[in-house]
């Protein structure tokens, strides 16, 4: 199975290098195919690894440092970083871990990745820097796989940073657009903040355990240290998964090409935070408070994002906010301890959110890159296939049975209820409200864009692709994902059958406290489905038939449109002060003090030299005078001292 893991990791990197080296010697399209096939190979490797783990009957002890039996295997290529520290040796290998959790993630990343890369072949066709795009995207898949396969915390951080890098590269892919470049920088810097907090957490671990293998997460530290470590990791997770308070980069990231949004900012990278918490649940369980903070963050985010999504007019941004809000659900899940539920939602979300983005991409592609939903009314009539696919995704998103979202989302909310504590119920309420909002904004989008007569703008700008709604490379993946979004959820229905949970159990067992009873499950499902339907109904009433007028709440509307003023806040609190400080330092210290001190001293010395020159009058008598005076002085001194 490790062979599969290595293959899975190496293939996309190989693709990148191949594309870079070939450069302009290969046609543009070829780059796309190299990339696609490399990711396909990775998918094959992932399957190999998956069945490897599957066939591994008995749990065994793997090199975790701790003696807990696990399923899976740890494989090391070479020592990446090593240093003595005291009597111990701090050593980090370039090692991969194949266990149920990483196997699932590998499947998601490479599988969905493969579909999206294939989709990009059509989508990016004709862009004059296609090769660069595919090099980047294969590099992203590599980084993401490194993240999920990384066999120790440092390697996980490496993958963590590299996905951030490739996300930066892809967001800023159209680098002539200032907005794109800005968005890219923003994304990278905010992620760097997360990386920094993670690094700090690791420093604590190193200081106390001299190691960064996953095993050290279950060793016992003092409660403060545990909490600090957990907080550090949470910081990273929050930044990467665009949760409050580090969420502002995600909507801007929509500047990137749509497939990028689908792959990185919907299906895989942004969900890495969830994976991180699931992977490091041991430390979080030691610091339960922090874990609940994570859950709270999720709950808050899913509401805030839902509210903001209500007023967005850019089709991709609406979906982006829905992503934030769905990841909020996942955080809620893993936060309360229902790791498998969170991971399951991650899986289904990857399906339907990628689907939604790519369907949106079809639309954008067909109408000359117009993204404003107010102009796109009635495009569905011209693009039936896209329309139905999108509908499937939308229903899955809202969580209407039998679509996949229903199965995953509800069990999360249910496990919140399972806590039975006051905050448990708060989380539950948030979840249900979130379902309402989801229905509302999703179908606002739907009703605004797809049904009805095409608007003149659409008629004017719509152009099909050889009589189809898009290149087959784009339609096929959308189709496949539509099927997955529809039926993928049947993999597990918590009250009745739960293979997914039991599969993950060895790696991330659900906390007993977060295991809902069947009643809670049914009850919650009913609540959320009703909420979702209600949302849909309101959306229908408001945006389709105009039965209702939107209540005029200008303040609320402005709040939502300004995304609760987070950008303004950060600009005022962090960026401006830093820039101002730099300016002040330069004007007030660097120039006058640091750069000027030397020259000033020099000037003083030269002035002294000038004095000397004035003494040198050229008058012979002066010279004799100094000779005599000097002699007199020496004599005097000697007579005195003698």
Partner 1 sequence: MLHTPHVDWFGLGPIFALIGASFLALLCAVLVPRAARRVAAAAISGLGFAAGIALAIWLYVDSASGRTIVAGTFYRDRWTALGQIILCAIGLATTLLAVEHVPGWGSDTEPDRRDDHVAEFFALLLASTAGMAFFVGSANLMVLFLSLEWFSIALYVMCAIDYDLEGSLEAGLKYLIVGSFGAAALLFGSALVYGATGTISFHGIAAAVAAHGLTGDWFLVLGLALIIAGLGFKMSAAPFHMWTPDVYEGAPTTVTAFMSSATKVAALLLALRVMGTAFPHDSHLWTWGFAAIATASLVVGNLAALVQTNVKRILAYSSVSHAGFMLIALSAGSALGARALMYYLIPYSAMAFGSFAVVAARERELGVPVTLDNLAGFGWERPFLGVAMWFFVFGFAGLPLGGGFVGKFYVFAAAYRHGWVWLVIVGVLATLVSLYYYLGIVRAMYMRPAEELRVRTDAGVVVGGGSPARETLLQIAVGGALAVSVGSLFAVGPLIELARHA
Partner 2 sequence: MNATALTSILIWLPVAGALVIWMLPLSRYATGSLAVLVSLLEVGFWIDQATRFDFSRSGLQLAQQTGWISDLHVSYHVGVYGFSLWLVGLTVVAMAACTGYGFWVGRDRARAYFGLMLLLTGATVGVFEAQDLLLFYAFFEAMLIPLYILIGVWGGPRRLDATIKFVIYTMAGSLLMLAAIVVYGLQVGTFDLVSGPSSPSRWLFLGFMFAFVIKAPLFPFHGWLPDAYRQAPPEVAAVLSGVIAKAGLYGMLRIAIPKFPDPTSFYRTSVLALAAAALVYGSLLAFRSRDFRGVVAYSSLAQSGLIALGLFAGTDLGFNGAVLQMVAHGLVSVSLFLIAGTIERRTTTGEFQLLGGMAKGRPALATLLMTVGIISLAVPGSANFAGEFLILAGVFQRAWWWAAIGAGAIVLAAMYTLRLISAVLHEARGSTVDDAALDLRPGELALVVPLVGLLLALSAWPAGITRHSFPIGKAPTATVKGQFR
Partner 3 sequence: MNALVVASVGNGLVWIVWVVAGFSLLASGVAVVSFSNPFYSALALIGNLASLAVMYLLLSAEFVAAAQVLVYAGAVMVMFLFVIAYVGPRREEAWSGGPTWQSVGAVLAAGALLVEIVVAVGLQASGHLGSDGKVGPAFGTPAWIGRVFLTDHLLAFEITSVVLLIAAVGGVILGSHARRGVPNPEASTR
Decide if residue 200 touches partner 2 (CB under 8 A).
yes
Q: How far apart are CA 254 and CA 187, in angstroms?
A: 11
Ranges within 401-460 binding partner 2 (CB under 8 A): none
- Say if residues 427 and 299 touch (Cβ distance below 8 Å): yes
Q: Indicate the residue among 550 and 637 with the shorter CB distance to partner 1.
A: 637
DSSP 3-state assignment of 226?
helix
- 641 touches partner 3 (CB under 8 A): no
Please identify, using beta-carbon distances, which residue of 69 and 630 lies nearer to partner 1: 630
Nearest-angstrom CA–CA distance, 176 and 174: 6
Which residues are CB-neighbours of 162 under 8 A, at least 6 positions away? 139, 142, 143, 146, 147
From the list partner 3, partner 1, partner 2, none, partner contacted by residue 606 (C-beta under 5 to 8 A by kind)? partner 1
CA 544 to CA 565: how far, in whole Å? 30
**Going by C-beta distance under 8 Å and a sequence separation of 6 or more, which residues neighbour residue 267?**
108, 112, 113, 116, 349, 350, 353, 354
Using alpha carbons, select from 393, 333, 335, 332 the residue that is nearest to residue 362: 393
Closest CA to 6 of 111, 142, 136, 135: 142
- Contacted entry of partner 2, partner 3, partner 1, none for residue 595, CB cut-off 5 to 8 Å set by kind: partner 2
Single residue of 149, 468, 632, 641 touching partner 3 by CB under 8 A: 632
- DSSP letter at 437 equals H
Q: Does the N-terminal peptide bond of residue 292 adopt cis geometry, omega within 30 degrees of 0?
A: no
**Applying CB under 8 A, which residues contact partner 1?**
602, 605-606, 608-613, 616, 618, 620, 622-624, 626-631, 633-635, 637-639, 641-642
- Name the residue nearer to partner 1 (CB basis): 368 or 625: 625
Name residues contacting partner 2, limited to 510-569 (CB under 8 A).
none
Identify which of residues 192 and 632 has a Cβ nearer to partner 3 in the complex.
Answer: 632
At closest approach, how far in Å is the CB of 613 from partner 3? 14
Q: Give the whole-angstrom CA distance, residue 209 versus residue 200.
A: 14
- How near is the Cβ of 600 to partner 1 at its closest, in Å? 14
Ranges within 81-120 binding partner 2 (CB under 8 A): 81-87, 90-91
Q: What's CA 563's distance to the chain center, in Å?
A: 19
Task: In angstroms, give the least distance from the CB of 582 to partner 2.
Answer: 4
Give residue for tokens 């590599």.
142
- Residue 572 within binding range of partner 2, rule CB under 8 A: no
Is 154 one of the binding residues for partner 2 (CB under 8 A)?
yes
- Torsion angles phi and psi, residue 542, rounded to 5: -85, -50
- What's the closest the beta carbon of residue 150 comes to partner 1, in angstroms? 52
Q: 428 with 364: CB under 8 angstroms?
A: no
Nearest C-alpha neighbor of 383 from the set 360, 368, 363, 364: 363
Q: Which residue reads 């998601």 in tokens?
A: 108
Q: Name which of 194 and 298 has its Cβ closer to partner 2.
A: 194
Which is closer to partner 1, CB of 422 or CB of 638?
638
The footprint of partner 2 on residues 240-269 (CB under 8 A) is: none
Using rule CB under 8 A, residue 631 touches partner 3: yes
Number of residues that bind partner 3 (CB under 8 A): 12
| 366 within 8 A of 469, measured Cβ to Cβ | yes
Query: Is the Cβ of residue 86 or residue 599 nearer to partner 1 in the bound state?
Result: 599
Roughly what angle, to the nearest 10 degrees, separates helices 100-123 and 28-55?
Answer: 160
Q: 207 touches which of partner 2, partner 1, partner 3, none (CB within 5 to 8 A by kind)?
A: partner 2
Identify which of residues 79 and 605 has a Cβ nearer to partner 1 in the complex. Answer: 605
Nearest to 521 by CA among 488, 498, 500, 499: 498
Q: State the DSSP string of 428-441.
A: HHHHHHHHHHHHHH
The partner residues of 92 in beta bridges, in order of sequence, read 81
SS3 496: coil
Binding mask 584-623 toward partner 3 (x if CB under 8 A, else -) reads: ---------------------------------x-x-xx-
Closest CB 635 distance from partner 1, rounded Å: 4
Interior angle at CA 262, CA 347 and CA 310, nearest 5? 90
Token pair belonging to 576: 């401006």
Query: Between residues 526 and 631, which has the closer beta carbon with respect to partner 1?
Result: 631
CB neighbours of residue 594 within 10 Å: 11
Q: Indicate the residue among 69 and 602 with the shorter CB distance to partner 1.
A: 602
Figure out which of the listed residues 20, 300, 491, 537 binds partner 2, where binding follows CB under 8 A. Answer: 20
Q: Is 635 in the site for partner 3 (CB under 8 A)?
A: yes
Alpha-carbon dihedral 513, 517, 519, 524, rounded to 10 degrees: 50
Task: Return the residue of 202, 284, 462, 540 that touches partner 2, per CB under 8 A.
Answer: 202
Residue 548 or 624 with smaller CB distance to partner 1:
624
Residue 88 burial (CB count, 10 A): 12
Residue 629 as a binder of partner 3 (CB under 8 A): the answer is: yes
Instruction: Output DSSP code: residue 58.
Output: S
- To the nearest whole angstrom, how small is the minimum distance from the Cβ of residue 385 to partner 2? 36
Interface pattern 125-144 for partner 2 (x via CB under 8 A): -------x------------
Least separation in angstroms between residue 593's CB and partner 1 is 20
- Which does residue 490 bind out of partner 1, partner 3, partner 2, none, counting CB within 5 to 8 angstroms by kind? none
Q: How far is the CB of 207 from partner 2 (least distance, A)?
A: 5
Rounded CA-CA distance 38/14 in Å is 7
**Residue whose entry in the numeric block shows the structure tokens 């189809």:** 468
DSSP state of 92: E
Site string for partner 2, 582-601 (x = CB under 8 A): xx-xx---x--xxxxxxx--
CB of 419 to partner 2, least distance (A): 34
Cβ atoms of residues 62 and 22 within 8 Å = no
By CB under 8 A, is residue 636 in contact with partner 3? Answer: yes
Q: Select from 125, 111, 127 the least CA-distant residue to 174.
A: 127
- Interface ranges with partner 3 (CB under 8 A): 617, 619, 621-622, 625, 628-629, 631-632, 635-636, 639
- Interface ranges with partner 2 (CB under 8 A): 20, 23-24, 78-87, 90-91, 132, 154, 157-162, 164-165, 168, 172, 175-178, 181, 184-185, 188-189, 192-193, 195-197, 199-200, 202-204, 206-207, 578-579, 581-583, 585-586, 590, 593-599, 602
């Amino acid at each position: 199975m490790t062979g599969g893991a290595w293959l899975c990791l190496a293939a996309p990197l190989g693709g990148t290098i191949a594309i870079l080296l070939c450069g302009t010697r290969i046609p543009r399209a070829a780059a796309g195919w190299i990339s696609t096939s490399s990711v396909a190979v990775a998918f094959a490797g992932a399957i190999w690894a998956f069945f490897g783990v599957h066939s591994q009957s008995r749990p065994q002890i793997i090199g975790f440092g701790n003696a807990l039996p696990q399923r899976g295997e740890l494989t090391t290529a070479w020592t990446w970083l090593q240093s003595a520290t005291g009597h111990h040796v701090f050593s980090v290998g370039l090692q991969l871990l194949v266990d149920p959790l990483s196997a699932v993630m590998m499947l998601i990343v490479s599988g969905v990745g493969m579909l999206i890369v294939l989709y990009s072949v059509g989508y990016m066709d004709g862009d004059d820097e296609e090769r660069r795009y595919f090099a980047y995207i294969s590099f992203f898949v590599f980084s993401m796989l490194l993240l999920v396969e990384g066999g120790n915390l440092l390697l996980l951080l490496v993958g963590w940073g590299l996905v951030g890098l490739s996300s930066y590269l892809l967001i800023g892919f159209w680098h002539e657009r200032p907005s794109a470049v800005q968005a890219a920088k923003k994304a990278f810097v905010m992620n760097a903040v997360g990386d920094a907090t993670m690094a700090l957490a690791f420093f604590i671990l190193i200081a106390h355990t001299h190691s960064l293998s996953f095993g050290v997460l279950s060793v016992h530290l003092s409660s403060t240290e545990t909490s600090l470590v957990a907080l550090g990791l949470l910081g990273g997770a929050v930044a990467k998964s665009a949760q409050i308070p580090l969420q502002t980069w995600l909507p801007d990231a929509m500047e990137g090409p749509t497939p990028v949004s689908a792959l990185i900012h919907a299906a895989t990278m942004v969900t890495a935070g969830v994976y991180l918490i699931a992977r490091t649940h041991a430390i979080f369980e030691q610091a339960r408070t922090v874990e609940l903070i994570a859950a709270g963050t999720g709950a808050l985010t899913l509401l805030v994002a839902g509210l903001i999504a209500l007023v967005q007019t850019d089709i991709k941004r609406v979906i982006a906010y829905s992503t934030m809000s769905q990841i909020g659900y996942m955080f809620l899940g893993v936060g309360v301890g229902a790791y498998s539920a969170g991971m399951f939602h991650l899986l289904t979300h990857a399906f339907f959110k990628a689907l939604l983005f790519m369907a949106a991409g079809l639309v954008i592609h067909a109408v000359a890159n117009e993204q404003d939903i107010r102009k796109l009314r009635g495009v569905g009539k011209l693009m039936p296939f896209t329309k139905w696919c999108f509908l499937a995704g939308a229903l899955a998103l809202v969580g209407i049975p039998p679509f996949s979202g229903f199965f995953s989302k509800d069990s999360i909310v249910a496990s919140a209820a399972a806590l039975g504590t006051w905050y448990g119920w708060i989380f539950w309420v948030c979840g249900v409200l979130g379902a309402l909002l989801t229905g509302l904004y999703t179908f606002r989008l739907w009703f605004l864009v797809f049904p009805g007569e095409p608007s003149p703008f659409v008629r004017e700008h719509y152009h099909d692709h050889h009589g189809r709604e898009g290149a087959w490379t784009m339609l096929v993946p959308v189709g496949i994902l539509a099927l997955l979004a529809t039926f993928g959820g049947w993999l597990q229905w918590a009250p009745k059958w739960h293979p997914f949970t039991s599969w993950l159990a060895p790696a991330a067992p659900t906390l007993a406290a977060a295991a809902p009873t069947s009643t809670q499950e049914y009850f919650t499902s009913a609540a959320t489905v009703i909420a979702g339907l209600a949302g849909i109904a309101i959306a229908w009433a408001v945006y389709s038939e105009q039965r209702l007028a939107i209540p005029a709440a200008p303040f609320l509307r402005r709040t939502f449109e300004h995304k609760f003023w987070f950008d303004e806040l950060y600009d005022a609190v962090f960026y401006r002060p830093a820039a101002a400080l730099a300016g002040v330092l330069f004007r007030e210290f660097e120039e006058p003090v640091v750069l000027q001190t030397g020259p000033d001293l020099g000037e003083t010395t030269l002035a002294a030299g000038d004095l000397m020159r004035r003494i040198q009058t050229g008058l012979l008598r002066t010279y004799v005078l100094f000779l005599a005076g000097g002699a007199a002085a020496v004599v005097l001194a000697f007579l005195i001292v003698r």
